[in-house]
Amino acid sequence: MLNSLSLRLPAALVLLFLVIGIAMVLLTRVSADRYYQEITQRLNAPVAMYVAGEAPLIRDGAVNATALQSLAHKAMVINPSVEVYLLDADGRILAHDLGTETPLRSAVALVPVQRFLADGNALPLFGDDPRSEQGRKIFSAAEVRHAGRLEGYVYIVLGGQKYTALAASAEASEALRLSTLAVIGCLLFGLASALLIFARLSRRLRRLTQRVNAYCAQTIDNGEHVSRVRGDEISQLSRAFDAMQGRIDEQMAQLRDADHQRRELVAHVSHDLRTPLATMRGYIETLTLKQGALDPDEQRRYLGIVHQHTRRLGRLIDDLFELARLDAGLIEPERTTFCVAELASDIVQEFRLDADRQGVSLTIERGPADASVYADIRLTERVITNLLSNAVRHTPSGGRVSVLIDDGGDDVAVQVTDSGSGIAAQDLPRVFDRGFRAAAPVTRQPASSGLGLAIVRRILALHDSEIDVHSAPGKGAAFRFTLPRALPQRHSRGG
């Protein structure tokens, strides 16, 4: 319930102030009572001595009850709360001023009495209360001697039953009630002030938490708000920091990987550009230097080689340009409804001549005639073209390449399979990286730019689709992707 720091801390503060308030009230009452008892005992310490010195109270063990009653009456006139007892030398009660009431104790412990007589400054001292089986109260005591011999003690309880009853009734007095209300008022004022100060100080923390939560909900959590996690603001900030740290580490790893791929791509592209350029320059220089010395057939052969390398350069530049536009987000798919089986058949026909020339069997397995998808027809054509080109390039003579259109479920699947050299297991995770080349092609076609599969993956990502590859060395490879099926209400705009 109290997941918010702005609620938990005030709750803890309320509990702390409550405990402090109760402790202050109790400590104040105990301290005041203790102070009152010490002052009362100091003021009344000589009372027992005065009573014992007024008249002989014990002589040869005989108690002078009349004198005791008279002296007790005088003492009570001065302090109505006192109770006077006469003890023998062993602490047994010989007489008292309680009238017909009988004390609950027959004797009083003499250790506190002797301490009182030995050191009257260590106050307050508590002795046994004869009218209570367990009670202890402040007292005044004095020795009773006759002819130099200790006969007993005068033992005066300074806070008798009358005082106890009066103190109990005073607990409900106006003064005590006002003092209690004053303490409670001070505590409430301190609590309100502390809560106000805390609210002002924690406002920035709450705002920071809200900003971090909003940022995480938009950029990190993919819609899952960090604040939905149980915990207070500090816990949420900690989790948000961990999420951002993980995201930053992931992005740094992606940046390092992208930089590594960029360096590899630059190295591959530099080589791919340098090789045809050097070849073209060599043949053009030869044609220039030997102009008129070469027969027409040889000139045509040289020009054909130059033209072949020119086309290779054009394809490489086109791939680089298209990949750059895909990476920059400059290409948006123009979705339309078309039959992917018909598109694949047209592309297969375009590759059939090259496949036959290389001795590769090229087939297509079509699904139902209505295998229509909703996608960008031009980009889809580029995907299938790149996959077929890659398959034919890595399939030896006598091998086969097949295109399968699987019309099942909510999507239409396209799979390009070859019986070529396959891809090593360690190369599978990198097969769609820019500039990556697996094994050398087994045909005489020039090596690819290493960008075709990277372009395929980015085009499919624009269609919210992924491509899977299954391969093993010497067993060929199979590339499979899906496109969303066209809904009936979508009208066909191409085929």
Strand order in the sheet with 93-96: 93-96, 83-88, 149-157, 136-146, 126-128
What pLDDT score was predicted for residue 495?
Answer: 42
- Which of 271, 301, 326 is the endpoint of a domain? 326
Strand partners, 408: 411
Report the chain (495 residues): mean pLDDT per 10 consecutive residues.
Answer: 64 79 80 84 86 81 80 76 87 84 88 87 87 88 86 85 57 64 79 79 78 75 51 75 84 86 73 79 87 84 87 81 81 91 92 91 79 91 92 91 86 92 85 68 55 89 92 90 80 45
Instruction: Report if residue 11 sits inside a domain.
Output: no
Same structural domain, 359 and 432: yes
Burial 212-228 (b: 16+ CB within 10 A, else e): bbeebbeebbeeeebbe
What pLDDT score was predicted for residue 345?
Answer: 92
Say which CATH number the domain at 286 has. Answer: 1.10.287.130
List Cβ neighbours of 46 (8 Å cut-off, separation of 6 or more). Answer: 140
* C-alpha span between 127 and 105 (Å, rounded): 12
Same structural domain, 397 and 271: no
Same structural domain, 378 and 469: yes
Same structural domain, 342 and 433: yes
Same structural domain, 314 and 392: no
Say which CATH number the domain at 112 has. Answer: 3.30.450.20
* C-alpha span between 436 and 427 (Å, rounded): 9
CB atoms within 10 A of CB 431: 20
- Which of 282, 302, 326 is the endpoint of a domain? 326
What pLDDT score was predicted for residue 171?
Answer: 54
What pLDDT score was predicted for residue 349?
Answer: 93
Omega cis (within 30) before 80: no
Instruction: Report if residue 291 sits inside a domain.
Output: yes
* C-alpha span between 426 and 484 (Å, rounded): 31
Number of domains the chain contains: 3
Q: What tokens were used for 126?
A: 């508590």
Helices (H), 95-232: 111-118, 161-170, 174-219
Same structural domain, 319 and 337: no
What pLDDT score was predicted for residue 338?
Answer: 93
Instruction: Report if residue 92 sits inside a domain.
Output: yes
Instruction: Report if residue 35 sits inside a domain.
Output: no
Instruction: Report if residue 4 sits inside a domain.
Output: no
Same structural domain, 356 and 475: yes
Instruction: Report if residue 465 sits inside a domain.
Output: yes
* C-alpha span between 495 and 378 (Å, rounded): 11
Same structural domain, 149 and 261: no
CB atoms within 10 A of CB 77: 9
Q: Minimal CA–CA distance to 407: which of 380, 367, 372, 373?
A: 367
Instruction: Report if residue 212 sits inside a domain.
Output: no
* C-alpha span between 288 and 398 (Å, rounded): 42
Q: 351 is in which domain, residue-wise?
A: 333-484
Same structural domain, 318 and 353: no
Q: How far is C-alpha 296 from the geometric centre of its chain's CA atoms?
A: 79
Instruction: Report if residue 489 sits inside a domain.
Output: no
Same structural domain, 164 and 123: yes
- Which of 170, 188, 209 is the endpoint of a domain? 170
Please say whether the dihedral angle defined by the alpha carbons of residues 115, 118, 122 and 124, taken in this order, is positive or negative.
positive
Residue 418: which H helix or E strand, with range?
A: strand 411-418
SS percent in the chain: helix, strand, coil, step 5: 55, 15, 30
Same structural domain, 297 and 380: no
What pLDDT score was predicted for residue 153?
Answer: 92
Please say whether the dihedral angle defined by the alpha carbons of residues 228, 232, 237 and 242, taken in this order, is positive or negative.
negative
Tell me the chain's radius of gyration from C-alpha atoms.
53
What pLDDT score was predicted for residue 445?
Answer: 52
Same structural domain, 455 and 317: no
Say which CATH number the domain at 462 has. Answer: 3.30.565.10
* C-alpha span between 199 and 206 (Å, rounded): 10
